[in-house]
């Protein structure tokens, strides 16, 4: 073979990590925008419209939005904690605490809702402070700390109510999560508007404020954040306080939704809140945002309704949901964390 032939042969295009150009470009887009989540949400909703009678009705749409709102609010605190590099397994206990405290203080002791809500929020703030302090100052794994705090809070609740909640919440509190509720005269459940406002505030705080930048810097690399004059300890602790307080708020809304106290009402949200974060595409250590969790909550709510409409057993529903999470992690969860790419 001639030297000319050797020199004229075009070189194969080089891409990062040896990936084809199209795959690399799609991966870059996915890091910037939640394309897969949007496609999945549209495809799942379209499948429901095509296969289930009445899936496009206002009743079904409101059911999806209400479930997604409660899940999205529960996932808000988890998102903040995950971005800072931790994890919170006490969310379920604080949701139950908000539910039981409101029901018992208002229904049994006849407190006003604002006073009872203040007590519930104080419980959440104190518990979140314990989570943050123990995990940061004493370098204990957040998973262990939050599980311990969860058991402590649950035990205190059971001790307080002697094993059974008897309180009933005010009727107007249930209007916040009612499918036929109205907001300023519009046929929109109030909880959906509450979720939209919370999403807007968290989104702006994470992307437009110094506190949000400090949160991302702490999650990416704590040592580098310290050198950038970020108060890493305060940021970490505030993330856990925010998570617990937001969980209590979900519990207050659930108290109105069910009309009474329930010490196990938060249990379904223990892994669902984390699933919403993961399905949305937010990963541990400073990559992602709350808008992705919003999409994750919507996707999981549509999936749950589709599985319920198919009348599948609970075990099969859990298997399918678990498979969905594994598929999502397989698609975009294998990337190196941002701290490892710097």
Pick the most confident of 278-282, 310-314, 337-341. 278-282
Ranking 86-95, 198-207, 251-260, 330-339 by mean pLDDT, the lowest is 330-339
Residue 164 has a pLDDT of 85
Residue 182 has a pLDDT of 87
Task: Fill in the DSSP letter of residue 335.
Answer: S
Residue 19 has a pLDDT of 58
Q: Which segments of 34-90 does DSSP mark as H helices, in order?
A: 35-51, 58-83
Concatenate the DSSP letters of all residues of 233-247 into one string.
HHHHHHHHHHHHHHH
The predicted-structure confidence for 182-218, as pLDDT tens digits, reads as follows 888 888 999 999 999 999 999 999 999 999 999 999 9
Concatenate the DSSP letters of all residues of 244-297 into one string.
HHHHHHHHHHHHHHHSB--TTTTTTHHHHHHHHHHHHT-BTTTB--HHHHHHHH
The confidence band for 315, taking pLDDT boundaries of 50, 70 and 90, is confident
Mean pLDDT of the chain: 88
**What is the rounded (10 degree) CA torsion for 269, 309, 327, 295?**
-60
Q: Is the Cβ–Cβ distance between 337 and 284 less than 8 Å?
A: yes
**Tokens 């605190």 appear where?**
77
Is the per-residue pLDDT at 78 higher than 60?
yes
Q: Is the Cβ–Cβ distance between 70 and 128 less than 8 Å?
A: no
With CA atoms as reference, report the closest residue to 240 among 100, 101, 118, 83.
Answer: 83
Percent of the chain with pLDDT over 70: 88
Residue 331 has a pLDDT of 66
Going by C-beta distance under 8 Å and a sequence separation of 6 or more, which residues neighbour residue 85?
A: 218, 219, 222, 284, 285, 286
With CA atoms as reference, report the closest residue to 281 among 31, 26, 22.
Answer: 31
Is the per-residue pLDDT at 132 higher than 90?
yes
Ranking 20-29, 194-203, 291-300, 314-323 by mean pLDDT, the lowest is 20-29
Mean pLDDT of 101-129: 96
Per the model's pLDDT, the better-predicted residue between 328 and 254 turns out to be: 254
Please provide residue 85's backbone torsions phi and psi, each rounded to the nearest 5 degrees.
Answer: 105, 10
Distance CA 290, CA 82 (A): 11
Distance CA 142, CA 165 (A): 30
Mean pLDDT of 93-98: 98
Distance CA 319, CA 322 (A): 5
Is the per-residue pLDDT at 335 higher than 70?
no
Reduced to 3 states (helix: H, G, I; strand: E, B; else coil), residue 70 is helix
State the CB neighbour count (10 A cutoff) for residue 4.
8
Distance CA 21, CA 139 (A): 42
**What is the rounded (10 degree) CA torsion for 128, 129, 132, 138?**
-140
**What is the rounded (10 degree) CA torsion for 78, 83, 85, 88?**
0
């Amino acid at each position: 073979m001639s030297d000319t032939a050797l020199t004229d042969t075009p070189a194969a295009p080089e891409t990062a990590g040896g990936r084809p150009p199209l795959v690399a470009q799609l991966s870059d887009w996915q890091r910037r925008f939640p394309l897969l989540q949007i496609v999945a949400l549209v495809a799942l909703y379209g499948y429901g419209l095509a296969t289930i009678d009445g899936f496009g009705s206002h009743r079904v749409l409101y059911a999806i939005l209400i479930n997604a709102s409660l899940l999205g609010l529960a996932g808000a605190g988890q998102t903040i904690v995950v971005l800072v590099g931790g994890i919170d397994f006490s969310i379920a206990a604080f949701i139950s605490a908000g539910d039981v405290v409101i029901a018992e203080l208002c229904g049994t002791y006849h407190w006003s809702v604002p006073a009872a809500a203040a007590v519930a929020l104080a419980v959440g703030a104190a518990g979140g402070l314990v989570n943050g302090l123990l995990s940061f100052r004493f370098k204990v794994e957040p998973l262990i700390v939050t599980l311990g705090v969860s058991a402590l809070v649950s035990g205190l609740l059971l001790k307080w109510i002697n094993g059974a909640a008897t309180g009933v919440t005010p009727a107007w509190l249930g209007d916040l999560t009612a499918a036929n509720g109205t907001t300023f005269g519009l046929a929109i459940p109030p909880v959906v508007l509450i979720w939209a406002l919370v999403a807007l505030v968290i989104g702006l705080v994470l992307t437009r404020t110094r506190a949000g930048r400090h949160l991302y810097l702490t999650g990416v690399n704590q040592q580098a954040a310290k050198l950038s004059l970020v108060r890493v300890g305060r940021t970490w602790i505030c993330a856990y306080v925010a998570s617990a307080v937001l969980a209590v708020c979900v519990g207050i809304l659930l108290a109105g939704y069910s009309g009474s106290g329930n010490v196990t009402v938060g249990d379904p949200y223990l892994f669902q809140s984390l699933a919403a974060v993961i399905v949305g595409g937010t990963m541990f250590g400073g990559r992602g945002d709350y808008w992705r969790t919003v999409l994750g909550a919507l996707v999981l709510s549509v999936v749950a309704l589709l599985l319920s409409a198919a009348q599948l057993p609970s075990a099969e529903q859990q298997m399918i949901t678990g498979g969905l999470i594994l598929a999502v992690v397989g698609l975009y969860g294998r990337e190196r964390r941002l701290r490892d790419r710097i």
